[in-house]
Amino acid sequence: MSSCSRVALVTGANKGVGFAITRDLCRLFSGDVVLTARDEARGRAAVQQLQAEGLSPRFHQLDITDLQSIRALRDFLRREYGGLNVLVNNAAIAFQTDDPTPFDIQAELTVKTNFFATRNICTELLPIMKPHGRVVNISSLQGLQALENCSEDLQEKFRCETLTEGDLVDLMNKFVEDTKNEVHEKEGWPHSAYGVSKLGVTVLSRILARRLEEKRKADRILLNACCLGWVEADMAGDHSSRTVEEGAETPVYLALLPPDATEPQGQLVCDKIVQSWSVHWNPWRYLELNDSARP
């Protein structure tokens, strides 16, 4: 076992916001920080870059779409640290708006990676989270926009406080199936695979946090989702106004909530502020009110 028993882990951390989050955690977290990436060469290059800055991250390969890869990481954490203190689920994909890939393929791959793979990470790693652990799922303003563009029936389902994980899985599968049958808009879905995938991540976070409160309340594990704003590495492209360092601020804040904190829990957090998304919420109004996030 490592001489340092505390450990934080960031997925998709070889570039962009994931890299910035890892850098901040290396500076601020009292313990080891594990940088993970699907591509080992790129991951190790990122570690070397941080080492050149005087920081000391560790590297572990992780393909979040590969269950065996997730379980190998889980076993490593058990063996080296006896569990996990901080988990930041950052890894995700997005197709550019001008990508010629058929929409149903985009939907299937995006939901598989951003929602189902993130869910698999949580399924495998939440059981080894140590008391006072912190879990941060990176969501997006586009998830909230997707919610607003859903039919009233779908909005009611996603906002339902008693929605189960199984119900949510069924909804995400239905979106993918409806895109294949070219009826997704008729069925009340928005035309945004990325948005729907991140909506799923936000709702999943609420469900998992509720379960932690029920099953492991004494351990005070906090699990939240967060929006980064329009950062350079995000899908905002030319509209981005935040640096990746600015985008990292909220996830790092949530990752380092003090041990005696009891909230936020199961919330969506933007600019370190809990967002009330159970009622109609306009992310574009959020941008108007936050100069640093304005595209």
- Our answer to whether residue 253 is catalytic in this structure is no
Residue 92 has phi, psi (to 5 degrees) of -165, 165
Residues forming a β-bridge with 225? 137, 268
Angle CA 233–239–245, to nearest 5 = 40
Contacts of 109 (CB under 8 A, 6+ apart): 93
Q: Which of 81, 194, 253, 286 is catalytic?
A: 194
| Integer Cα distance of 50 and 36 in angstroms | 13
Total length of the chain: 295
Peptide bond into 264 cis (omega under 30): yes
Catalytic residues: 194
